[in-house]
Structure 1
Amino acid sequence: MFTLALTYHQVMPSFLDFIFPFGQQEYAQDFHFSGLRHENYLNPLDKGLNVPELGRSGREIRLCYNLQSVEKSSGQADLPWLIRQTAIYHSFDVETGRSVWINVKGNKLLKKRIEEASKLSQLGSFKSISRSFAAALTAHMIFCDWAGENWRWYITDLEKGLQEVTRKTLSTPVNRLSSSGSESISIPIIPRTQPTLSVSHQETLPRPPSRPHSSSSQAQSTASERSFTSKIQFSPFQGLRLEMPSSLMASQLPNVMVGPPESQPGEKPKSNELRPGLQDEDNTSQQENFSFTDLQRIQYIEEKAHETLLVLKQNVTVLKELREHYRSTTEAADLPREIKSDCRTDIARFENRILGVERDLGMQQLRIESMLRLLADRKNLVSLYGILQYRGLQASESFTQEALRSIYNLDAMATSMHEIAEKTKQETVSMRIITLVTLFFLPGISIATFMSTGIIQFTTDNDGRQKRVFQLRGLKLYLAICLPVMIATFVAWYIVYWWVRRKDRSSPYAANDGKCSDKA
C-alpha cells in the first residue's frame, strides 16, 4: 500500500533514503542519517508529468528531508528522554496550488499539530496559489519548531546526571602518602629451632605517569619499578615473620606501623595489640564510594552527549539548506509573479523563524560542547589516573592492614600452641611415672585381693600341722559376680564410646573434615 501511494503521487525516489531508518529494530541502524533533497520543475520547457485530471500541471517544487528532536519517554529508566526522527516529503504545484504532504513518524504528535493548526486557520486559506504557498511555509515551520524544542531540558538532565556522578570527585578527601624509614617490616617470633614454612610473593609495582624530573628522581623512579619479594615464614612453635622491602612500605602503605612492641624477658607478648599507627578501621570509609559502575554511567552520558551534538549539527544543516532552498526558489525567474509579490512577507517570516530555531540549536550546541569538555575532565579524574587509582591504592593498604592483623593473630596462636605443647610435655612425663608405679604394684595388689577373698585358706589342725583349704563354691561365686560386672563395664564403655562418636559425626565440622579427606 505504501509503495502504491508513493507511485500514485510520483514521490521522488530519494525520499526512500529517509524511510529506511524506520522500522522495528533491536538496535538502531542508520538512525543518524540526515539531509535534504529537492527537485524543481519550474521551467515550462522542463516540467514534469502533466495530468490535468489530477490537478498536476508538471511545474512543481519537490523536496524531502528529515529532522530529529527529543521527546519525553516513560520507558527510559535512566534518562526519561528519547530522540525521535521524522521524514517529510512535500510537493507544490505552482500553477494549480496543489500540495502533497507525506510525514513519517513513530507517533501522531505532528499530525495532531497540523490538525490543530488547520482548525485555528494558522495555515491560512487555499483560495489562491499564493495563499497555498504561504500555508506550505507555515507547515514547514511547524516541523522546524518541533526539531528545536525540548533540547534545553534534555541537556539539563544530562548535566544533572553528570554532576550527580562526578561532583563527589571534587570533594573527596585525599590523604598525603607518608614516607617512613628505610627499615624492613619484621614481626618478632619466639626463637626456636624448628622447620618453617616459607611463602614468597613477587610483584612489580606500576610506574606512575611520567613527567619531567631530574636525574636523581629518574634513578628513584627506576628503582621503584623493580620487582620486590615479600616473604612470610611460619612455624607452629616459632610464630610468624614477614619481611618486605622498606621502599614498598614507604610509598605504597602509608600510615601503617607494624611490629608489636618488644616484650621484656619473662613478659608474655600481647597477641592482639597493634601499634597506634595501624588504624583499626578502613581509612577509605571516610570517602565516597567509586566503582566501575560510575565509569559506565559516565560513559553512557558521554555517548548521549555526543549523539546530541551530532543531531543538533544535522538539524542546523538541514534547516539552513531548507531556508536557502526557499530563498533560491523565490528568487528564480520561472516562479510565478503572484507568489513573489503576495508571499514576500510570508517568506521573510519563514526565514526569520528558521533563523531563530538555528540560533537556539546553536546555543544548545555550545552547551553540549561545554558539557563534553567538563565530562572529559571529570572522567579523567575518576578514571585510571584519578580517583579509582587512588581507591585501588587505599584498597591495597586496607588489605595489607588486614593481613598484618591476621599475622599478629597467627603469631599469638603459635605462641599459645607452644605453651600448650610445653604443658603437655610435662603432663606426659607425670603420666609415665604414674603408669610405671601402677604397673609395678598392680600384680601384687591383684594377687593380694584374690588371696583375701577366702577361696584359698591356710589353717592349722589339732595336731599343729598347717593345712590348705580350697573352696570351689567360693571361686564360683567370685567368678559369677566378677565376670558379669566386668562385661557390664565393657558394654557401658562401648555404649558411651558409640554415642560420642555418633555425635561427633553429626557435627558440621566433622562433615567438612570428611569432605576434605574424600577430596584428598
Structure 2
Amino acid sequence: MAGIPAAQPLPEAFQKSFLEAATYPKNLVHRTVQTYPGALHRIENRLDEAADRLFEPDTGVLDVPFRDLQLASGEELSKENIESRMELEQWLKVDLSIDQTGGPLPVVVSTLAKDPKCRLIYVWADHSRARLKISRKMLMLILTWHQVMPAYLDFMYVFGEQSDQPDLRFTGFREQTNLGLQFQRLAIPSLGRSGRQFQICYNLKNVELKARDDDNFVHDEWSIRQAAIHHQFDIEEGTTLWLLTKGSLDLHHRFKELTGKDARPEDKNFRTPEESFRASLSAHLLWCYWSTDDWRSYLRWLETAIQEESDLAVLGPRGAGHAHKYYRPQDVQSLQIWEEKANTAIMVLESNIDIMQSLTGFYKRLLANKEFDLGTLRSDDIDAFVAQINDIIHDFRSQIGRATDLVKVTNNRRELIMQHLESQSAERMEVLNRNLEKEAIVVRIITIVTLIYLPATFVSTFFSTDVIKYQGQDGGGNYSSIAMERWIEVTIPLTLLTLIFAWVSKSWAEKKRIQQEQPVQLQIRPQRIFQQAASQTPQQVMIQVPSVPYHAKWRFPSRQNTSQTVLPLHTLGP
C-alpha cells in the first residue's frame, strides 16, 4: 500500500507570493520592466473595475475544468471540475501548515506533488456575454500558483456580463522569455520547474451560427466569438501549461479529442522536453484551425442576404410602364448594416492574421535563440508548424478578398438605391408640377372670367342701391330702357378699362422681371496714377496708365434684390 506523499518545501519567495495571492499581480516573484509599481497599480484598478461583471458571485455555479496529462504519480490522465477554492488547493496538491520554527512566515506552504507534464485550465461561461464560472479568489490563486504574467488579464476583460458585443477590435500577442541560465534562480524543484521558460498569450476569433431562422435565412443570427489563450513551456523539464478563456466549452472538447484515446501519439506524448514541445505546437495549430471555422459559410450568408436585399436595384426594370420596387430610406440603412458586418469580418480576419504572424515570428526567433536548447532538435517541427500557419493565413487572405469585394458591391448598390430615391423624388416633383400647371390654367381661366364679369357685377350692384332709381318711369312693367342704356354705357367702358389695366400691369411686371434678369455691365475705369518724376518740377505731372489688363465683371442682382452674384465673364483691354 502506497503511503501518503511527503510535503516538499517551496522557496520562501514563492510561499510569500502564494499567501498574498489576493494581491495579484503585485505578488509575482519575477518582475519585468512591464511590471513596475505604477503599471501594477493600474492593472489592479482595472481588475477591480471589471470584477463585478467578470466573476460569478454565486458559488453554487462555479466550474473550472482541469485536465492533467502524465502526472508525476504515473497516471496518464487526471481530470476534475473544480468548484471551490478548497477543491482548487487540493487539486494543486498544496499543503498548508503552521510554522513552528518562528520563521518569517506564519504559515508554511508546501507541495505534495510536482506539476503534470501538461495541464489545461479552462475558464468558461455559458456564453460570451455571461460571467465567467470562476471566483476572483480562485483565479488569483491559479495565476499565482503558475506565476502567469499579468498581461493575460487584458485578454480576459473582453469576457464577462455585458449588454453589447465583446470588444472585437481588441487583439494582441504578448510574450515573456526567460531562457538564460540566470533564470535558474526562479527554479522550484519541488514543483518540477527549472525557471527557464517562456510564456505567450494571444487571442483568436471565429464566427458561429447562433440561431437559424427556417422561414427567412436573412434573419439567421451569427456571432463572432473570442478565445483568450495563455501558454507556458519549461525548456528543461518539458512541462506545459495551457490556460484558456472562452464563452463555451467547445475548445475544451477539441483539446480532449487532441489528447484522447484516438489522438495521434505525437500529440499526447510528453515523456521528454522535445516531445512536449512538439505536442505544444499541435495545440497551437488546434486553436488556429478553430479560428477558421465557418468564415466561408458566414461570408456566403452575407453575399446571399445582400443580393436578396438589393438585386432589384440592379436588375429591376425602371421607367414608365414597368412595375418596380418603391425604395425607402430604411433600404439604405439596411445595406449600411450589411456593409458594416462585412467590414467587421475583414477586421477580425486581419487581426487573426496578425496574431498568427506574431506566433510564427515568435517561434522563428525562438529557433534562432542560442539559449533555446531544443532549437537544433525541433527545427523541422517549427518549419512544419510555420508552413501550416501560412496555409491558414493564405486561406484568411482569400476570405478577406472576398469580403472586400462584397463591401464594394454593397457600397455601389447603396449608392444606386440612393439614386433611385432621388429619381422617385424627382418623379413626385414632376407629378406635382404637372398638377400645378393644370391648376395654374384653371386659375387663369377663373381670373379672366372674373375680370370680364367683375365690372358688370360692380355696376349691377351699384345700380341696385338707393343711389340710382328707375322705377316709376313711363313704359310700365319692370323693364327700363334708360336703366339698360345707362348700365351698358357704364359697364362696357369699365370692362375695357379693367382689361386694359390688367394687361398693362402684366406687361409692366414682365418687363421689370426681364430687366432684373438681364446682366448689367459694370465698367471699371482705369485708375489714374499720378507720380511725380524726380527730374521734373512739382508742377509737372505724368499720367501713367497701367499695362495690366483690367477685368470686367458682370453683376447679376437677385430677384429679391437681397444679394448679388458676381461672375467674371470676359476681359477688357487696356
TM-score bracket for the superposition, by shorter chain length: 0.5 to 0.7
Q: How does 1:119-138 map to 2 (within 5 A)?
A: 119=260, 120-122=262-264, 123-138=267-282
Q: What residue in structure 2 maps to residue 91 of structure 1?
A: 232
- SS of the residue corresponding to residue 324 of structure 1 reads helix
CA distance in 2, matches of 1:158, 1:301: 7
- Are the equivalent residues in 2 in contact too, given 1:155–1:368 (CA < 8 A)? yes
- SS of the residue corresponding to residue 73 of structure 1 reads strand
Q: What residue in structure 2 maps to residue 488 of structure 1?
A: none
Q: Does 2:341 correspond to 1:307? A: no
CA distance in 2, matches of 1:342, 1:124: 19
CA distance in 1, matches of 2:365, 2:279: 19
Q: What residue in structure 2 maps to residue 291 of structure 1?
A: 328
Residue 115 (structure 1) shift: 0.3
- Are the equivalent residues in 1 in contact too, given 2:211–2:220 (CA < 8 A)? no
CA deviations on 1:419-465 (whole Å, 9 max, x unpaired) are xxxxxxxxxxxxxxxxxxxxxxxxxxxxxxxxxxxxxxxxxxxxxxx
Q: What residue in structure 1 maps to residue 295 of structure 2?
A: 151
Q: How does 1:212-231 map to 2 (within 5 A)?
A: none
Residue 85 (structure 1) shift: 0.6
Residue 126 (structure 1) shift: 1.0
Residue 48 (structure 1) shift: 6.5
Q: What residue in structure 2 maps to residue 115 of structure 1?
A: 256
Q: Does 2:426 correspond to 1:389? A: no
CA distance in 2, matches of 1:146, 1:155: 17
- Are the equivalent residues in 2 in contact too, given 1:41–1:48 (CA < 8 A)? no
- Are the equivalent residues in 2 in contact too, given 1:284–1:394 (CA < 8 A)? no
- Residues 78 and 303 from structure 1, CA distance in 2 versus in 1: closer, same or farther, beyond 3 angstroms? same
CA distance in 2, matches of 1:15, 1:284: 65
CA distance in 1, matches of 2:294, 2:283: 19
CA distance in 2, matches of 1:285, 1:407: 30
Residue 330 (structure 1) shift: 1.9
Q: How does 1:174-189 map to 2 (within 5 A)?
A: 174-175=318-319
CA distance in 1, matches of 2:146, 2:328: 58
- Are the equivalent residues in 2 in contact too, given 1:40–1:62 (CA < 8 A)? yes
CA distance in 2, matches of 1:289, 1:379: 14
- Are the equivalent residues in 2 in contact too, given 1:86–1:104 (CA < 8 A)? yes
- SS of the residue corresponding to residue 389 of structure 1 reads helix
- SS of the residue corresponding to residue 125 of structure 1 reads coil
CA distance in 1, matches of 2:401, 2:203: 23
The one-letter code sitting in structure 2 at the alignment partner of 1:306 is: N
Residue 402 (structure 1) shift: 7.6
2:308 to 137, 160, 164: 164
1:53 to 179, 184, 190: 190
Question: Which structure: greater helix fraction?
Answer: 1
- Are the equivalent residues in 2 in contact too, given 1:48–1:60 (CA < 8 A)? no
Q: What residue in structure 1 maps to residue 199 of structure 2?
A: 62
CA distance in 2, matches of 1:317, 1:327: 15
- SS of the residue corresponding to residue 154 of structure 1 reads helix
- Are the equivalent residues in 2 in contact too, given 1:74–1:80 (CA < 8 A)? yes
CA distance in 2, matches of 1:409, 1:26: 62
Question: Which structure: greater strand fraction?
Answer: 2
2:398 to 359, 363, 375: 363
| Structure 2 unpaired stretches of 5+ | 1-137, 445-574
- Residues 295 and 52 from structure 1, CA distance in 2 versus in 1: closer, same or farther, beyond 3 angstroms? same
CA distance in 2, matches of 1:6, 1:151: 33
Q: Does 2:181 correspond to 1:44? A: yes
- Are the equivalent residues in 1 in contact too, given 2:345–2:403 (CA < 8 A)? yes
In the superposition, the TM-score normalised over structure 1's length comes to 0.54
> Relative to structure 2, which stretch is displaced further, 60-69 or 41-50?
41-50
Q: How does 1:347-426 map to 2 (within 5 A)?
A: 347-383=382-418, 386-398=419-431
CA distance in 1, matches of 2:333, 2:414: 10
CA distance in 1, matches of 2:284, 2:242: 10
- Residues 309 and 352 from structure 1, CA distance in 2 versus in 1: closer, same or farther, beyond 3 angstroms? same
- Are the equivalent residues in 1 in contact too, given 2:258–2:268 (CA < 8 A)? no
The one-letter code sitting in structure 2 at the alignment partner of 1:93 is: D
Q: Does 2:138 correspond to 1:105? A: no
Structure showing greater relative contact order (alpha-carbon pairs closer than 8 Å, 6 or more residues apart): 1
CA distance in 2, matches of 1:13, 1:167: 51
- SS of the residue corresponding to residue 365 of structure 1 reads helix
Residue 124 (structure 1) shift: 3.1
- Residues 47 and 360 from structure 1, CA distance in 2 versus in 1: closer, same or farther, beyond 3 angstroms? farther
- SS of the residue corresponding to residue 92 of structure 1 reads strand
Residue 5 (structure 1) shift: 1.1
CA distance in 2, matches of 1:348, 1:19: 31
Q: What residue in structure 2 maps to residue 320 of structure 1?
A: 357
CA distance in 2, matches of 1:324, 1:48: 28
CA distance in 1, matches of 2:425, 2:224: 38
- Are the equivalent residues in 1 in contact too, given 2:317–2:324 (CA < 8 A)? yes
Q: Does 2:175 correspond to 1:34? A: no
Q: Does 2:219 correspond to 1:78? A: yes
- Are the equivalent residues in 2 in contact too, given 1:50–1:58 (CA < 8 A)? yes
> Relative to structure 2, which stretch is displaced further, 41-50 or 159-168?
41-50
Residue 399 (structure 1) shift: 5.6
CA distance in 2, matches of 1:150, 1:23: 24
CA distance in 1, matches of 2:417, 2:206: 32
CA distance in 1, matches of 2:164, 2:308: 28
- SS of the residue corresponding to residue 148 of structure 2 reads coil
- Are the equivalent residues in 2 in contact too, given 1:97–1:132 (CA < 8 A)? yes
The one-letter code sitting in structure 1 at the alignment partner of 2:332 is: L
CA distance in 1, matches of 2:209, 2:318: 40
- SS of the residue corresponding to residue 173 of structure 1 reads coil
Q: What residue in structure 2 maps to residue 7 of structure 1?
A: 144
- SS of the residue corresponding to residue 11 of structure 1 reads coil
- SS of the residue corresponding to residue 151 of structure 2 reads helix
CA distance in 2, matches of 1:388, 1:149: 39
Residue 31 (structure 1) shift: 3.0
Residue 340 (structure 1) shift: 3.0
Residue 308 (structure 1) shift: 0.9
CA distance in 1, matches of 2:439, 2:341: 48
